[in-house]
């Protein structure tokens, strides 16, 4: 009986040590921080707290939208009647890219909408950019269709960022 208990403890300690090793190996503080900030952005959008959403936009984007108040108004009016964002699921961020004094990466965003016909789900990308060595992160909703126009206005966006191919909404 004593041998069984010792063997069980050894196995459990081995499993615990392995789990601790793998969890510590997979942690990347920069990408964890990006994910945390992107989650705040997504949660604010879900709760229609557009002031927080806009605070996560790049300052140049806010200026292009006509200022903070105008950007909030645009977001408020953006959702068609009869449509509601039900869920936003984010992937873990891609590897970071250092380019033109920025740090960049992308996350895949899966958006679930409630629509009159039921629900719709689509996937696209969120581009995360930091210009202050990862202290502040700005987010851009991007897809394979709008990345080139985005790069014209924001030339600091690297060609190496991986943009998830836009997927048309699937209704169910």
Identify the pLDDT of residue 26: 54
Q: Which domains does the chain have, with CATH numbers?
A: 29-171 (3.10.450.50)
**Tokens 């991986």 label which residue?**
162
Rounded-to-integer distance, Cα 155 and Cα 3, Å: 66
Q: Is the pLDDT of residue 21 over 50?
A: no
Position 71 confidence tier, pLDDT thresholds 50, 70, 90: very high
Report residue 43 as tokens: 């949660």
Q: Is the pLDDT of residue 19 over 50?
A: no
Q: What is the mean pLDDT of residues 43-56?
A: 95
Determine contact, residues 127/104, Cβ cutoff 8 Å: yes
Rg of the chain on CA atoms, in Å: 21
- The model's pLDDT over 116-166, given as tens digits with 9 standing for 90+, comes to 889 999 998 999 999 999 999 999 988 766 778 888 889 999 989 888 877
Question: What's the whole-number average pLDDT of the chain?
Answer: 83
Q: Is the pLDDT of residue 97 over 70?
A: yes
Q: Is the pLDDT of residue 11 over 50?
A: no
Share of the chain above pLDDT 90, in %: 58
Rounded-to-integer distance, Cα 94 and Cα 34, Å: 10
Position 6 confidence tier, pLDDT thresholds 50, 70, 90: very low
Q: Is the pLDDT of residue 17 over 60?
A: no
Share of the chain above pLDDT 70, in %: 84
Q: What is the mean pLDDT of residues 165-171?
A: 83
Q: How far apart are the first and last CA of the chain?
A: 56
Determine contact, residues 107/129, Cβ cutoff 8 Å: no
């Amino acid at each position: 009986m004593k041998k069984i208990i010792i063997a069980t403890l050894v196995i459990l300690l081995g499993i615990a040590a392995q789990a601790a090793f793998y969890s510590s190996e997979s942690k990347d503080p920069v990408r964890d921080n990006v994910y945390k900030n992107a989650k705040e952005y997504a949660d604010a959008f879900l709760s229609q707290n557009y002031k927080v959403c806009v605070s996560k936009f790049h300052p140049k984007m806010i200026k292009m939208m006509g200022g903070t108040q105008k950007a909030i108004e645009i977001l408020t009016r953006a959702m068609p009647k009869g449509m509601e964002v039900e869920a936003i699921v984010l992937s873990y961020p891609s590897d970071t890219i250092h380019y033109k004094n920025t740090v960049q990466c992308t996350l895949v965003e899966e958006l679930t909408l409630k629509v009159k016909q039921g629900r719709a789900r689509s996937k696209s990308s969120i581009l995360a950019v930091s210009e202050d060595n990862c202290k502040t992160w700005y987010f851009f909703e991007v897809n394979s269709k709008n990345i080139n126009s985005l790069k014209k206005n924001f030339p600091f966006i690297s060609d190496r960022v991986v943009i998830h191919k836009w997927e048309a909404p699937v209704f169910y």
